[in-house]
Amino acid sequence: MSTVNIHAAKTHLSRLIEEAAAGGEVIIAKAGKPLVMLVPLAPTPAKRRLGALAGRARIPADFDAPLPDEVLDAFEGH
């Protein structure tokens, strides 16, 4: 983390932005008192694409058929 005054920040803004984008934090101060912090933005999550698994998964025809009694009993703790 580095601290620079406003004048130096104006002079070296590109370098400070690169430093922050690389994961650093830059504090900009006025008369030695911290005012703001320059930090990188959180990465934007990738957009979800519907149908990405099309053709890769198969749902059996009896997917919603009732479960056998012994399986139901196991779920209920019998």
| Candidates 2.120.10.70, 3.40.1620.10, 3.30.465.10, 3.40.47.10; CATH matching 2-38 | 3.40.1620.10
pLDDT value at residue 42: 84
pTM for the model: 0.53
CA atoms of 52 and 73, how far apart (whole Å) = 36
Tens digits of residue pLDDT in 8-57? 999 999 999 999 999 999 999 999 999 999 999 888 788 888 988 888 98
The residue ranges of every structural domain in the chain are 2-38
User: Average pLDDT in the 48-73 region?
Assistant: 90
Model confidence at 64, pLDDT cuts 50, 70, 90, reads: very high
> How are the residues of the chain apportioned to helix, strand and coil, as percentages rounded to the nearest 5?
30, 20, 55
Q: Say what the pLDDT of residue 7 is.
A: 94
